[in-house]
Amino acid sequence: MARIRINDRSFGGMQASYLSDEQCRKLHNYSLEILMRTGVRLFLPEAVDLLKKAGAMVSEGNRVRIPAGLVEKAFSSVPRRVTLYDRHGKAAIFAEDSRCHYGTGSDCLHIIDHRTNERRDPVLQDIVEGITVCDALPDIDFVMSMFLPVDVDPMVSDRYQMEIMLNTTTKPIVYVTNEFSGTVDAVEMAEIVAGSAEALRLRPNIACYINVTTGLRHNEEALQKLLFLAEKGLPAMYVPVVLGGATGPVTQPGSLAIVYAGVLAGLVLSQLKREGAPFIFPGWGGAPMDMRTLISPYCTPNWGSAAAALASHYRVPSFGLAGCSDSKVVDQQAAAEAALTLLGETLGGPNIIHDLGYLESGLSGSLAQLVICHEIVGWIHSFLGPVTVDDESVPLDLIDEIGPDGQFLNVEHTRRHFREHWYPTVFDRGNHSQWLAKGGTTLAERAAARVEKILSTHHITPLPDEVRTAVHAVVQRAEANLRHE
């Protein structure tokens, strides 16, 4: 979606902002106060040294208090737009203003098999099939690995995921790695495909999603990844994890202030390492645990709304979350929560919206659910799309010619315009007899059938043999290093 549109009005900012500008300013100031009063623990000496040299105060070896001036300076150099490209170097995602783009998530521990409806452990072939479906669906703008395969060593599973994504789609890639060396290898593989490190930096088709322990505790590998990517000039999504009631206050603003204290610490570090390094802010965070189950639900109201409002207030690229469900199967709850979160996020305006097809609070994924999410995105595009009111859309002469007793079914005007409407691919609009004639299937069954059709008909242009061989050599080297450890 180019940007938020409601009918014939186009907006550069959020239209369903959960927070006012004044509330955003307050949250920003609370985060600054946390950075200066409480500080953050950084488990990487290089990160501590960078901040100390810039004027931050260090105590207890790695507890760093960051003055507000460093944050303001970082905002003066961070890019307000991040562009991601496809494999061919064509701009595909513009992360700016309220332009929304949609994709999957990564590393689900289980898959709901669309052929059997069974919940099982995923294997590499599931990733191949998932990325194939993503490549075929036009409103899926970027891919993530979707599943964590059990048929390879978990220490190198991230290399296999990256190899499959580079081979199986031309769309931009958001990737997650198990540890720092995996990030280095993932970038090397992408550089091979791009042709050189400089070619990848100029037209990046990858962005790294970095999970951080909490907003106040930044683990070594997260910091290593952040500084490495900043030095490379490649996009990083820096996402501190705070669970309200556990690692942060149970109140959403309290937890969100800690989340963004961590985000701002990451922002400062990235800009100290390399001014102008692309940095993407999280558009969710601070949700409370469900105190009845002690599970962190994905689909609580307003989980992403406040964070998305804050990112929009900063006028920075943002990473959102939607199209997911806490349901365990592809059912009515899964469809309802996917629709609610996708519409809410789109109105909120995060630029890169991930986790389409997620179930079970992020533990399971489903290709059938992904197809349903894709259908919902198409509906939202149409819902928020423009309506042209002019002499062509209101053909007075034609209306007068046909008059009260005629019909418009076979006129040229109808033939010219009927394709402008949105037509679903898995939602059913027929009457009861038409539905029965097609098999009387459920939405989940129709979505599963579409997955099978895509897998049997969609073909992707493979990487050149020499490039594919060079990419696989990075995976083999990681496996060899693992055996020698």
Question: What distance in Å separates the CA atoms of residue 188 and residue 152, rounded to the nearest whole number?
Answer: 20
pLDDT at residue 6 in the model: 53
In a domain, 470, yes or no: no
- Of 292, 377, 351, 349, the closest CA to residue 326 belongs to 292
In a domain, 56, yes or no: no
**Predicted confidence band at 2 (pLDDT cuts at 50, 70, 90)?**
very low
Q: What percent of the chain has pLDDT over 70?
A: 96
Residues 476-482, mean pLDDT to the nearest whole number: 94
Give the global pTM.
Answer: 0.94
**Predicted confidence band at 286 (pLDDT cuts at 50, 70, 90)?**
confident
In a domain, 475, yes or no: no
Instruction: Put residue 156 in one of left, alpha, beta given phi > 0 → left and psi -120 to 50 → alpha.
Output: alpha
Show the domain range for 178. 5-19+75-383
In a domain, 345, yes or no: yes
Q: Is the pLDDT of residue 240 over 60?
A: yes
Q: Which residue has the higher pLDDT, 274 or 299?
A: 274
In a domain, 37, yes or no: no
Residue 68 identity: A
Q: Is the pLDDT of residue 16 over 90?
A: no
Q: Is the pLDDT of residue 242 over 60?
A: yes
**Predicted confidence band at 293 (pLDDT cuts at 50, 70, 90)?**
confident
- The tokens for 52 are 């100390």
Q: What percent of the chain has pLDDT over 90?
A: 82
- Of 299, 285, 407, the closest CA to residue 361 belongs to 299
**Predicted confidence band at 129 (pLDDT cuts at 50, 70, 90)?**
very high
H/E stretch holding 6 reads strand 5-6
Q: Which residue has the higher pLDDT, 216 or 348?
A: 216
**Predicted confidence band at 4 (pLDDT cuts at 50, 70, 90)?**
low
**Predicted confidence band at 1 (pLDDT cuts at 50, 70, 90)?**
very low
pLDDT at residue 14 in the model: 43
Question: What distance in Å separates the CA atoms of residue 173 and residue 86, rounded to the nearest whole number?
Answer: 8
Q: Is the pLDDT of residue 15 over 90?
A: no
β-bridge mates for residue 95, sequence order: 82
Is residue 109 within 8 Å of 359, Cβ to Cβ? no
Contacts of 31 (CB under 8 A, 6+ apart): 257, 258, 260, 261, 263, 264
Question: What distance in Å separates the CA atoms of residue 217 and residue 389, rounded to the nearest whole number?
Answer: 55
The CATH number of the domain holding residue 300 is: 3.20.20.480
Is residue 295 within 8 Å of 289, Cβ to Cβ? yes
Render 409-473 in DSSP notation, one character per residue. TTSHHHHHHGGGS---SSS--S-HHHHHHTT---HHHHHHHHHHHHHHH---PPPPHHHHHHHHH
H/E stretch holding 307 reads helix 305-314
Backbone φ, ψ for residue 205 (5° rounding): -105, 10
Residue 222 identity: A
Least confident segment among 17-26, 117-126, 150-159, 424-433: 17-26
Cα torsion through 300, 137, 444, 440, rounded to 10: 140
Contacts of 315 (CB under 8 A, 6+ apart): 80
Q: Is the pLDDT of residue 303 over 80?
A: no
pLDDT tens, position by position, 48-67: 999 999 999 999 999 999 99
pLDDT at residue 288 in the model: 80
Least confident segment among 113-127, 186-200, 228-242, 298-312: 298-312
Rounded to a whole number of angstroms, the CA Rg of the chain reads 24
- The tokens for 472 are 């696989």
In a domain, 236, yes or no: yes
What is the pLDDT of the chain when averaged over all its residues?
93
H/E stretch holding 168 reads helix 157-168
- The tokens for 67 are 């003055």
In a domain, 280, yes or no: yes
- Tally the domains of the chain: 1
**Predicted confidence band at 307 (pLDDT cuts at 50, 70, 90)?**
confident
Q: Is the pLDDT of residue 248 over 60?
A: yes
In a domain, 468, yes or no: no
